[in-house]
């Protein structure tokens, strides 16, 4: 079954600290892996997208890694800010060959950054 599992479910850190969120997936055929940030009551906003051949990608203080062999990804947040408080969702896109595929979402990690 195509699944995306994230850990931890929730995380509380102090402002300025770093943290790493984990994602494991069992999605096939694989097209790409995305990390989204979702503020409460809002739509997801893309942070990074990685294809099979990419090991790491950065977007400001966010750095995502991908190990396609072990089917694991991580999102590292550096020097956290209060505005980083949100749910971080790992999403894997299935590739159906000529079609668009669809997105398999993880449940997300709820990050709270405290002053």
Partner 1 sequence: EPEVTQTPSHQVTQMGQEVILRCVPISNHLYFYWYRQILGQKVEFLVSFYNNEISEKSEIFDDQFSVERPDGSNFTLKIRSTKLEDSAMYFCASTETYYEQYFGPGTRLTVT
- The residue ranges that bind partner 1 (CB under 8 A) are 32, 41-46, 49, 89, 91, 96, 99-108
In whole angstroms, how close is the CB of 17 to partner 1 at the nearest point? 26
In whole angstroms, how close is the CB of 100 to partner 1 at the nearest point? 4
Nearer to partner 1 by C-beta: 48 or 63? Answer: 48
CB-count burial class (<10 Å; 0-12, 13-18, 19+) for 114 = exposed
User: Any residues with CB less than 8 A from the CB of 42 and at least 6 apart, and which?
Assistant: none
Nearer to partner 1 by C-beta: 47 or 80? Answer: 47
Selection from 52, 73, 72 nearest residue 63 by Cα: 73
In whole angstroms, how close is the CB of 18 to partner 1 at the nearest point? 26
In whole angstroms, how close is the CB of 33 to partner 1 at the nearest point? 12
Per-residue buried b or exposed e for 61-76, using 16+ beta carbons within 10 Å of the residue's own CB: ebbbbbebeebebbbe
Nearer to partner 1 by C-beta: 52 or 96? Answer: 96
């Amino acid at each position: 079954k195509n699944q995306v599992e994230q850990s931890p479910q929730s995380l509380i850190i102090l402002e300025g600290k770093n943290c790493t969120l984990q994602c494991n997936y069992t999605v096939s055929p694989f097209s790409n892996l995305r990390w989204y940030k979702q503020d409460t009551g809002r739509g997801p906003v893309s942070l990074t997208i990685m294809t099979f051949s990419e090991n790491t990608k950065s977007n400001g203080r966010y750095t995502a890694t991908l190990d396609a062999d072990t089917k694991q990804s991580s999102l590292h947040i550096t020097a956290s800010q209060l505005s980083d408080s949100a749910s971080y969702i790992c999403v894997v896109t299935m590739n159906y060959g000529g079609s668009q595929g669809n997105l398999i979402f993880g449940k997300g990690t709820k990050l709270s950054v405290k002053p």
